[in-house]
Amino acid sequence: TLLQVASLPDRVDMAGPRSDTTAPSWNFEIPFATPQGTAMAQFEISRDGGGGEGGEAGKRVWRARFSIDVEPSGPIHAQISLVGDKTSVRMWAERPATAAQLRAGASQLSQQLSRAELQPGDISIRDGNPPQARPARAGHFLDRAL
């Protein structure tokens, strides 16, 4: 089992307002068993906003991003954002048929968010790849086999 954890920079200045370069971020992979073998889903969980003086907790944005490539669906990328009490979901499917299937289930996703006591926000499902994310910030990486 491979565990990959990205740590924060060595020194974080707690006296100043927090910026995106010091915002918490956690990167990891989770293996999924599929009929074709093991597929790895890459996850990133991060928080930004609301860290300065007078910042309100409701303005903080938590984001979870993940990607997985499993046949017959092909590559799927998702970003789930929690802003205040609203949960928004953006998904990209690289295959048009998969995107169409995901769109057909969007109302069910909204219902499941409500059942999980999350207020559904925007649900967007698109064809293709997500916009390019910013490069990973410098830090220390640890790979450890358990």
pTM greater than the 0.95 cutoff: no
Of the two residues 19 and 142, the one the predictor is more confident about is 142
Of 13, 16, 25, 21, nearest in space to 141 by CA: 25
pLDDT in tens, 130-141: 887 566 566 556
Residue 105 in this model has a pLDDT that exceeds 90: yes
Q: Of 15-24, 76-85, 136-145, which has the strongest mean pLDDT? A: 76-85
pLDDT in tens, 35-67: 888 888 888 898 886 554 444 555 688 999 999
pLDDT in tens, 110-121: 999 999 888 999
